[in-house]
Structure 1
Amino acid sequence: MRHSLPLAPQFYVTAPQPCPYLDGRMERKLFTSLQGDTAQVLNDSLSKQGFRRSQNVLYRPSCSDCAACLSARIKVADFKPTRSQRKVMKKNPNLLRRATSPWATEEQYELFRRYLDERHADGGMADMDVFEFAAMIEETPIRTRVIEYTDKDSGDLIATCLTDMLDDGLSMVYSFYEPTQTRQSLGTWMILDHIQIAREAGLPYVYLGYWVPGSDKMGYKVQFSGLELYRHGAWAPMGNPEDYEADTHPLSNDPIAEQVANISFPDTRG
């Protein structure tokens, strides 16, 4: 199934497959390719409309009977850490941050495997080999960095985040960390550090991916103040999480053709 608009990229829809977040549901995605000189501006524009990047593809959930997946971002100016998050911010004084070009290393892959085997052994990425991992890191047509966090004493790699540089913020594409250091709250710590990076760079947002009401896997995102959700074609501050349960009901999504017609595209002319 294919839809296209004049002077706009072509969009496709994936075949339905079991949803990784909600039991008994089927998911499908609306997607388009990122390529050529317009890749960066297209990524900037569609990220503001709820899309996410995976290698050279931009996608957005477009399930036939559910609209639960809501793109989430933190408005940096409105973020105020909780007492618990302030404690997390102080937990890792021994970690050094280093931003590098998107280039995969054996050390990254070894950390990635330990993380998957411990935290997501039954997930969709569980059988990813070193070549697929390298593709995830390196196949990017836009401004992307690998943010590495190393122990300043041992030099060991402790955490890593693949981060896209958008014109209005940072997009945390994928992060992983040492699974044995549970007390360090490394997942939360990396988000807090990205908020700090964005603040220092004068960028207003940190994009976190999707929040799914009813999914425990995504529950941690609602712990961050200043959270905004993309819903019904606009960003708005998050309210009570229970107010979003209706999005898991059938017929809560617009038809594919209408979704494509409502996408705004950047003007790439001269």
Structure 2
Amino acid sequence: MRHTLPLAPQFYVTAPQPCPYLAGRMERKLFTSLQGENAQQLNDGLSQQGFRRSQNVLYRPSCADCAACLSARIIAADFKPSKSQKRVLKKNTHLERRVTSPWATEEQYDLFRRYLDSRHADGGMADMDVFEFAAMIEETPIRSRVIEYIDTTTKALVAVCLTDVLQDGLSMVYSFFDPEYESSSLGTFIILDHVEIARAGDLPYVYLGYWVPGSPKMDYKAKFSALQIYKQNEWTPLGDIAHHEAETHPLSTAPIAEQVANISLPDLPAHRIKP
């Protein structure tokens, strides 16, 4: 006789630690593992509910007294570049896009180290070695790509983005670039190019990660048109950024059990076992 067990993921919460975006606050994350034959379905379903992927883990903020972090995505078909973004596109016409499988290279790691040393020397990734970098790139149980940007005049690798291909869009997991090209606004260019990739593939959205009102590190995301944020369990247009001040009331975040109960899981096939 055969029995079936649902493959329902288990959710956990990290211990509090200092928030990297807003001074004086503590962060926690709600997370679940991402593995097995249903990993792609789970990633698709939870990404639509504000989760992000890091290697084989899906997570979203679950802070005890703050609800500032808001998942953000661009509606690709509705996006219109601003004048400054058009200038960024024009500045970078000499860059060539190259899409590869999620495989780490020494050239990528050298670029990654220059990027961290220049812009995030005191960040959480500052001590990441080549093996940890390779794990970040390669340990993916879903459909992922590494998108590289090559300077056609020098043949140098100048930017990289680890990107997940979702059912409804592209999720920019992590990007980095040559700090010597800072005047070229490569961070903005990578996002603009992902919008073009999404349009070419008839994918509705480009997921940007979290936007945090009040955090200078995240200001750039609010500059993209057709931006939606995930707030109070639904996607809504960003609108006036002044309406999204960081929420710090102790009742602004639901208890963990309530958060988990409100997560909509995709229909996963049952796992058959023998008695």
TM-score category (smaller protein): over 0.9
Deviation at 1:164, TM superposition (A): 0.2
1:103 is aligned with what amino acid? W
Matched, 1:102 2:102: yes
Deviation at 1:247, TM superposition (A): 2.0
1:253 maps to what in 2? 253
1:195 is aligned with what amino acid? V
2:146 is aligned with what amino acid? V
Deviation at 1:245, TM superposition (A): 1.1
Alpha-carbon distance in structure 2 between the residues aligned to 1:170 and 1:45: 13
The within-5 A match list for 1:163-174 is 163-174=163-174
Alpha-carbon distance in structure 1 between the residues aligned to 2:155 and 2:7: 49
Deviation at 1:25, TM superposition (A): 0.2
Deviation at 1:269, TM superposition (A): 2.7
The within-5 A match list for 1:133-144 is 133-144=133-144
SS at match of 2:179: coil
SS at match of 2:252: coil
Contact 2:43 2:58 in 1 (8 A): yes
SS at match of 1:161: strand
2:236 maps to what in 1? 236
Structure 1-normalised TM-score?
0.96
Alpha-carbon distance in structure 1 between the residues aligned to 2:246 and 2:22: 14
1:269 maps to what in 2? 269
1:16 maps to what in 2? 16
1:152 maps to what in 2? 152
Alpha-carbon distance in structure 1 between the residues aligned to 2:251 and 2:106: 45
Contact 2:212 2:246 in 1 (8 A): no
Any idea what the Cα deviations from partners look like across 1:59-96, whole Å, max 9, x if unmatched? Answer: 00000000100000001122111110011111111111
SS at match of 1:118: helix
Contact 2:66 2:246 in 1 (8 A): no
SS at match of 1:248: coil
Alpha-carbon distance in structure 1 between the residues aligned to 2:18 and 2:156: 37
2:118 maps to what in 1? 118
2:181 is aligned with what amino acid? Q
Contact 2:7 2:269 in 1 (8 A): no
The Cα RMSD (Å) is 1.2
Alpha-carbon distance in structure 2 between the residues aligned to 1:104 and 1:250: 42
Contact 2:112 2:177 in 1 (8 A): yes
SS at match of 1:207: strand
Which stretch of structure 1 is more off in the superposition, 123-132 or 239-248?
239-248
Alpha-carbon distance in structure 1 between the residues aligned to 2:250 and 2:188: 33
1:225 maps to what in 2? 225
2:273 maps to what in 1? none
Which consecutive aligned stretches of 4+ in structure 1 deviate over 4 angstroms post-superposition?
Answer: none
Deviation at 1:14, TM superposition (A): 0.3
2:33 is aligned with what amino acid? S
Alpha-carbon distance in structure 2 between the residues aligned to 1:32 and 1:193: 30
Alpha-carbon distance in structure 2 between the residues aligned to 1:121 and 1:192: 26
Larger Cα Rg: Structure 1 or Structure 2? 2
**Residue identity (%):** 74
SS at match of 2:131: helix
2:3 maps to what in 1? none
The within-5 A match list for 1:40-79 is 40-79=40-79
Any idea what the Cα deviations from partners look like across 1:88-145, whole Å, max 9, x if unmatched? Answer: 1111111110100000000000000000000011111111110100000000000000
SS at match of 1:37: coil
Gaps in structure 1 of 5+ consecutive residues = 1-5
SS at match of 1:208: strand
Alpha-carbon distance in structure 2 between the residues aligned to 1:220 and 1:251: 29
1:3 maps to what in 2? none
Matched, 1:204 2:172: no
Matched, 1:39 2:39: yes
Gaps in structure 2 of 5+ consecutive residues = 1-5, 271-275
Alpha-carbon distance in structure 2 between the residues aligned to 1:250 and 1:23: 17
SS at match of 1:157: strand
Alpha-carbon distance in structure 2 between the residues aligned to 1:11 and 1:90: 45
Alpha-carbon distance in structure 1 between the residues aligned to 2:100 and 2:89: 23
Structure 2-normalised TM-score?
0.95
Deviation at 1:246, TM superposition (A): 5.0
Relative contact order higher in (CA < 8 Å, ≥ 6 apart): 2
Q: Judging changes above 3 Å, is the alpha-carbon distance between structure 1 residues 188 and 246 closer, same or farther for their aligned structure 2 residues?
A: closer
SS at match of 1:181: helix
Alpha-carbon distance in structure 2 between the residues aligned to 1:87 and 1:7: 49
